[in-house]
Amino acid sequence: MHPARIAVAGASGLIGSALARSLTAEGHRVVRLVRRDPAGPDEVRWDPERSSVDSAGLEGCDAVVNLAGAGIGDRRWSAAYKARIRSSRVQGTRTLARALASLDTPPRVFVNGSAIGIYGDTGEQAVDEDAPPGTGFLPELCVEWEAATEPARAAGVRTVLPRTGLVVSRSGGAWGRLFPLFRAGLGGRLGDGRQYWSYIALHDEVAAIRHLMDRTDLSGPVNLTAPQPLTNGEITEAMARVLHRPASLPVPAAALRLALGEMAGDVLGSQRVLPTRLLRSGFTFAFPGIEDAIRAA
């Protein structure tokens, strides 16, 4: 890719900050969307939950990447927090999509984050992008979130929806919480450990997003998960091997439900998701196996 001007919403988050570093290191100009007064020409003011963005600051961007949203696992899902999760994603996406549609020179691609949560609990059944949405809070949220990109797509902007799995990183997300527990010898399977976890190394997540930006033949949903999902029990054993710590303290399902409330259903749920479209498009994983992904983190 030639040096480009790329806007990133959610540039302070786990994936967004890694993506911004990767782009900047290769000479691209990253424009960050911020919720405060911009500190310079490479910042654009927006307020996703109030549906406002400085559209003029997006003019001339080659690509726009939206990874913004309140953290799914940051706290218990009260009614108020679920409303915040929804508005931060749906309102933010709709605001950006409408802004892009209004530009004199829209970007050539809009990459808008989504999640494998759209499939719901798939048990042992492997699913790819052709599978229908599941039921429940996260699947319904993801459907609404993806639909909010429609103004940009209708305006002719190539729109890609990376459905991200569990990102293996020590800096945040689910794995950011697992690493300290395992290092302390307090790791263990969650529930019966038979539920599938579809993971992806942070390095591969960033590389895949860049791949989606570059591949002009890709649009719509693309699963960002490693090729071989594993069960929580298998991942627990791999963590113990790589970190040389015991993993003999399983967390009973009842304890998870007590600690996490409604969110426990998604921790205990099974998602065996395959990256069919990503592999068909020629993407190569640097860390496809779980032990490699854990070491990379």
**According to the model, what pLDDT value does residue 198 have?**
95
Residue 107, both tokens: 């970007």
Q: In which region does residue 116 sit, left (phi positive, over 0), alpha (psi from -120 to 50) or beta (all else)?
A: alpha
Instruction: Give residues with Cβ within 8 angstroms of 245, minimum separation 6.
Output: 182, 183, 184, 185, 187, 239
Helix H or strand E segment including 179: helix 173-183
**According to the model, what pLDDT value does residue 118 have?**
96
Among 241, 134, 109, CA closest to 187: 241
Looking at the domain 5-296, which fold is it? Rossmann fold (3.40.50)
Instruction: Round to whole Å and give the CA distance between 70 and 12.
Output: 12
Q: Whole-prediction pTM value?
A: 0.94
Among 17, 158, 9, CA closest to 88: 9
133: which DSSP letter? P
Helix H or strand E segment including 223: strand 220-224
**According to the model, what pLDDT value does residue 29 have?**
96
Residue type, 188: G
Per-position pLDDT tens, the chain of length 297:
578 999 999 999 999 999 999 999 999 999 999 999 888 889 999 998 888 999 999 999 999 999 998 887 767 778 888 888 899 899 999 999 999 999 999 999 999 999 999 999 999 999 999 999 999 999 999 999 999 999 999 999 999 999 999 999 998 877 887 888 888 887 888 888 899 999 999 999 999 999 999 999 999 999 999 999 999 999 999 989 999 988 877 777 676 666 566 666 666 789 999 999 999 999 999 999 999 999 999
- Give domain limits for the chain: 5-296
Residue 264, both tokens: 């426990």
